[in-house]
Structure 1
Amino acid sequence: MLYLTADFFPIFVPLGVIGFYRYLLFLIKLCGWFVYRPIRPIANPLYQAKDDVTIVVPTIDAGEEFCEAARSWLACNPKEILVVTEACMMEPMITLANSIDPDRIRVLSVPRASKRVQMVEGVIHTKTDILVFADDDAIWPPTMLDYILACFEDESVGGVGTSQTVKSIGKHQSIWEILAGFRLTVRNIEVAASTHIDGGVCCISGRTGAYRTVILKDPGFQDAFINDYWCNRHLLNSGDDKFLTRWMVSHGWSTYMQVCKEALLLSTFKNNWRFLKQVLRWTRNTWRSDFRSLCIERFIWHRHPFVAYTMVDKCLNPLTLLSGPVSVLILCNLDYHLPNWNIIASYLAWLLITRFVKLIPHLFKRPQDVWAIPAFLVFNFYFAIMKLYALFTLHKTGWGTRQEAVIEENHY
C-alpha cells in the first residue's frame, strides 16, 4: 500500500481521513440501529385508539390511494378521521369519504389550499388526546396505532414517528421508486440509531406523525406554524414536519421513532424524473430547518448532541462525497505510475462495494434491487451537486412538482 501511495502520498492523506471518518460514522449508526428496540404495547395501555386518537389528513386531490389508505387507518380503529381540503373540493371529498365510512370520516375545508392552514384546521376540530397527521396515500399496518400509542405511556413524549417503505404505483417498482426505497432504508437506520443513542431525531416525517393534542392546541404554536417565514420574507408551506420536530425539541418534549414492521407505513413516490424535484424540495427544507436548529434555536446541541452532529455531517456531505472524484481527477492529471483506467476502475469498484455494504439491510428484503446500485451511485453524486444548488436557492419555497397550492407527501 505504501508503494502504491508513495509517489503522491499527500494526495491520499485527506482522502483517507475523509474515508475513515465517513465509514466510522456509518458503523456507529449501524451499531445503534442493531441494538435499537421499539417500544411494545402493554396489556393495559393509558391510551386506546378508539377513544383517544384523531387522524388529520390535509389533502386536495385525494384519489385511489386515499381509499386504500383510509381503509388501513380505519382498520386501526381511531375515534375519528378528519379530512381537511379546500372549499372547491368539499363536495367530491364528502362523496369519497361517505363511500368509505360516513360515520368516522368527517370532511372539513379551508378557503384555499395551504397545507399548514389545513393542518391547524384539523387541530382545532380535534377532541382527543392524541392527534396523528397522515398523508393521503400513507398505508398503515393494522398495528400502527397500538405501537404509536405505546410511546405515549411516557408522559414526557410529545411526538412519535414511524418507519417507512415504498409502495409501488405499478406492478413493478421503477428505478425512481427503487432509489426512494434505498433512501428510506438509510433513513430508517439513521432514525433508529439516533433514537437509541440520544433519543432525538432530525425529523418526524409528515407521512405519519403523532403528537399530543395539547401541544398543538397552543395558540402560540398555531400562529408560529402558519406564519413561518424564511429570512422574514418567504412564507413556508412545506417543511411542516421539520417545524413540528423542532417545536418538540425547543419546548422540552421528547420524541420517539417506532422502527419495526408493526409501525411500517407504505407510501407512494413519483415514479418518473419528477422524483428529483421532490428531493430538491425536501433538501431545501432540510437546509432551512437544520440551519435554524443548529445556529438559531440551538436547543439540539445539549438535548440531542448526536442528532446535532449528524446535521453538521449532512451539511458537509456534498464536500466529502465530491472529494473522491476530485482526488481521482488530480491523479489522472499527474504522472502517476498507474494508468488512468486503472485508477478510475479501482475507484468505481470501491464505490460499488461500499454502496452494496450500506444497502445490505435493504437487499436482504429486496435482493432484486441489486441491479440498481450503480444508479444509486450516480444519484448520490447528483444529490451532492443538487444539495449545493439547493443551498443557494433557499428562497424558492414552491412545491416544485405541481402548482404551489397542491398538497403532496412531505419529506425525509
Structure 2
Amino acid sequence: MAAQAYWRHLWAVALDKNFLFVFLFVFRYLRFVVHLVSFFFLYRPSPAPRSPSLTARDCTVIIPTCDPKDRAFLRCVESVARASPSVIHIVAVGKEQENQVRSTILPHVADFPSVCFKVSSTIQANKRQQIAAALPAVRTSITVLCDDHVTWPSAHMLRAAVAPFEENERVGGVGTNKRVIRHADKGLWAGFWNVMGALYLERHNFEHTASNAVDGGVAVISGRTCLYRTHILQEPALLAGFLNERFLWGLCGPLNADDDNYLTRALVKRGWTIKFQNTPEALILCDVGEFPRFLHQCLRWARTTFRSNMCSLVTDRAVVYRAQPWGVYALQLSLMLNFALFYDAALVWALVRSQGWGAATTTLKLKLLVAWILLSKLPKLAPYFLRHPADLIYLPGYFVFAYAHSLIKLWALLTFWDTRWAGRNLDDIDRAAAAQAEAGTGTGTDTDDGRHEGEGEGERADDEDLDFFPPAGNSEEEDDLDLDVGLAPSSTRPPSSRLHHRRRRCSPVKTPWGTVGSQNLHQLPANILQTHQLRRSPGTTSTTKRTKRVGDSNGDSL
C-alpha cells in the first residue's frame, strides 16, 4: 500500500502544470549556476614548480598530418619546436607527403639544435593509425599529441602543460586551453564564421574548466593538443582498442574520427584522473573552417558527441558514474540533450501552461524568461568579448546560429553512424598513397620488392623507415639516437651530416628465437630487445640497435 501511495503521489506531481517547467528549468540552469561559481572561483590550475622533475625534455610531440603543404603546418612545427621538446615526430601519408614534410622542415631544423625531428609515414590517412605508428618509438615519459594546424604561442607551453603530472601522480592526461585565431582582416561574412568558431571553443573551455574543477570530469581531452603518460598509450590492450574501435554493437567501424574521445574514456576506465590546464602558457591557437566547411565540422563534432557520450553512459557506466558523477550530468547528458531551439521552446510552452506564479501576467513572465535565457548565454562568452569587444556586432548573429545549430545537431543524431571525416578529402589522399606503394615508391621501400626475409605474406615494410634530424651539440643525446635509429656512431659521422643523415637498413638476423627483423621486434621480450644487436653485414665494425615501426597482418601501422 505504501508503495502504491508513493507512486500515485509521484504521478500527481508529474502531472502538475508547474512541474514540467520547474524540472526543465532546474535541469538546464543548475549546471549553469554551479559552473559559473566553479569557473570563476573554484578552479585552480596546476602551478609549474620552481625545480620541476618533468620538463619539456621529457616530452615527445607526435604530429600526424595529411596536408603538409598547408602554411599552417610549418607554423605548427616551428611553434612546437620553440617549446624545446625532446623529439618531434611527424607522421605523413605516403611517400610524396613524407618528402614534402622533409623539404618543408629541413631549412628550419638548424634553428632548433636541441630538438630531434623524426619523419615517417603510413599508407592511409587515418589519424589513429598515424598516432599508433609513432608510439612504439617514443622513449620519453610524456607523449604530446598535436594537430597539424595548431600553433603554440608560448615557448613555455610544455612547462605549463606538464605541471599537473608533477602535482598529482594519478593524473594520466592533460587538456589545454584552446582559442581560434581571429582574422580581423576578413570581411563581414567570413568574419562572422570566424567568430562563431571562436565562440564554439570558448564555450568548450568554459564547460570543461568548470566541470573539471567540480569533480575532475571532462567529456573529452581535445586532440588539438593533449598530453598523456607514455606508458598508458603504449599499453597493448589500449592500442588494440584504439585501432579497432567499433560502435553500435560492433556493426559500425572501425572508427577514424573520435580518437581523442577514445583516449579520454580509456583514462577514466583505467582509474586515471584528468586535469584541464587553463593557463595563458598552456594556450593553443587554431583555425576552424570557413563557411561551409565549418558547418561540416559542427556536424562531425555533434556526431562524435552522441557516439562517445552514449559509450560513456552505457558501455562504461560502471566506472564513469562513480568517477565523475557531476560530469555525467553536466557534460555527458547535458551536451546530448541541449537542443537550444527545442529546449527553449519547451520552456516557453511549459511556462505558459503553468499556474500560480503570483500576480505577474503571462506576458511579463515570458519577457523575464526570454531575458534570462539570452543573458545566461553571455558569461561563457565574456572572456572572448573582453578580448575582442569589436566583435559584439556579431552577438545577434550568434543567438541565431545557436538555435540553427540545433538543426545540425538533430541531423547528427539521425546520422550518428556516419563516421566520415567531414572537412577533408581523405579518400584522394588514401588513393595517392596506395598508388605510390603499389608502384614501389611507398614509404621505406628501399629494396626492389619492399620486403625482407622472414616477413609473412600479409606483412609489409612500406612505412618502416624514419628520417631523423637529431639534435646537434649534445653527444649524449646523439649516442642515444644511434641506438634508436641505426646511424653510425657519432664519432665516425661527419659533422656536416648530423641533420640530414638517413637511417641504414639492417638485414634480418637469425637468433635462437627465430629470425629477428623489423617486422617482429614487437613480439620479442624487452630483455632480448635490450641486449640483442642487429648487425649490418659480416666484416663491419659498427653494430647498431634500432626500434622500427611494424605492420600488423592487415598492413596497418601499429
CA separation in 2, counterparts of 1:384 and 1:94? 43
Structure 1, 20-29 or 79-88: larger mean CA deviation: 20-29
Q: How does 1:57-136 map to 2 (within 5 A)?
A: 57-62=63-68, 63-87=70-94, 88-101=96-109, 104-136=116-148
Of 168, 180, 185, 2:202 maps to 185
CA separation in 2, counterparts of 1:264 and 1:92? 28
Aligned partner letter, 1:395:
W
Larger Cα-atom Rg: 2
CA separation in 2, counterparts of 1:114 and 1:406? 13
* Distance of aligned partners of 1:36 and 1:371 in 2 relative to their CA distance in 1, 3 Å threshold: same
Of 40, 46, 58, 1:39 maps to 46
C-alpha offsets along residues 342-387 of structure 1, whole Å, 9 cap, x if unaligned? 9998876554433334422322222122122222212221222222
Contact 1:158 1:254 in 2 (8 A): yes
Aligned residue for 2:306?
A: 287
Of 138, 142, 151, 2:164 maps to 151
- TM-aligned CA deviation for residue 117 of structure 1: 0.4
Structure 1, 92-101 or 280-289: larger mean CA deviation: 92-101
SS at match of 1:306: helix
Aligned residue for 1:305?
A: 325
- TM-aligned CA deviation for residue 120 of structure 1: 0.4
* Distance of aligned partners of 1:406 and 1:105 in 2 relative to their CA distance in 1, 3 Å threshold: farther
Aligned partner letter, 1:89:
Q
- The 4+ residue runs of structure 1 with deviation greater than 4 A are 10-13, 326-332, 340-351
Contact 1:97 1:107 in 2 (8 A): no
- TM-aligned CA deviation for residue 315 of structure 1: 2.2
Of 21, 31, 47, 1:25 maps to 31
Aligned residue for 2:504?
A: none
The reply on whether 1:218 has 2:230 as its aligned counterpart is: no
SS at match of 1:152: helix
SS at match of 2:377: helix
Aligned partner letter, 1:113:
A
CA separation in 1, counterparts of 2:273 and 2:350? 47
Contact 2:182 2:194 in 1 (8 A): yes
- TM-aligned CA deviation for residue 237 of structure 1: 0.3
Unaligned runs of 5+ in 1: 1-9, 333-337, 408-412
Contact 1:57 1:135 in 2 (8 A): yes
CA separation in 2, counterparts of 1:353 and 1:362? 15
C-alpha offsets along residues 26-55 of structure 1, whole Å, 9 cap, x if unaligned? 1101111112111111122121212x1100
- TM-aligned CA deviation for residue 12 of structure 1: 7.0
* Distance of aligned partners of 1:72 and 1:42 in 2 relative to their CA distance in 1, 3 Å threshold: same
Give TM-score, length-normalised by structure 2.
0.66
Contact 2:161 2:227 in 1 (8 A): yes
CA separation in 2, counterparts of 1:116 and 1:136? 14
- TM-aligned CA deviation for residue 67 of structure 1: 1.5
CA separation in 2, counterparts of 1:170 and 1:360? 19
CA separation in 1, counterparts of 2:280 and 2:109? 27
* Distance of aligned partners of 1:348 and 1:26 in 2 relative to their CA distance in 1, 3 Å threshold: closer
SS at match of 1:215: helix
Aligned residue for 1:368?
A: 390
Aligned partner letter, 1:316:
L
Structure 1, 13-22 or 175-184: larger mean CA deviation: 13-22
SS at match of 2:54: coil
* RMSD of aligned residue pairs (Cα, Å): 2.7
Number of equivalent positions: 393
Unaligned runs of 5+ in 2: 1-15, 353-359, 430-558
* Distance of aligned partners of 1:267 and 1:19 in 2 relative to their CA distance in 1, 3 Å threshold: same
Aligned residue for 2:149?
A: 137
SS at match of 1:235: coil
* Distance of aligned partners of 1:329 and 1:227 in 2 relative to their CA distance in 1, 3 Å threshold: same
CA separation in 1, counterparts of 2:280 and 2:289? 23
- TM-aligned CA deviation for residue 19 of structure 1: 3.0
* Distance of aligned partners of 1:346 and 1:36 in 2 relative to their CA distance in 1, 3 Å threshold: closer
Higher relative contact order (CA closer than 8 Å, sequence separation 6+): 1
- TM-aligned CA deviation for residue 14 of structure 1: 3.2
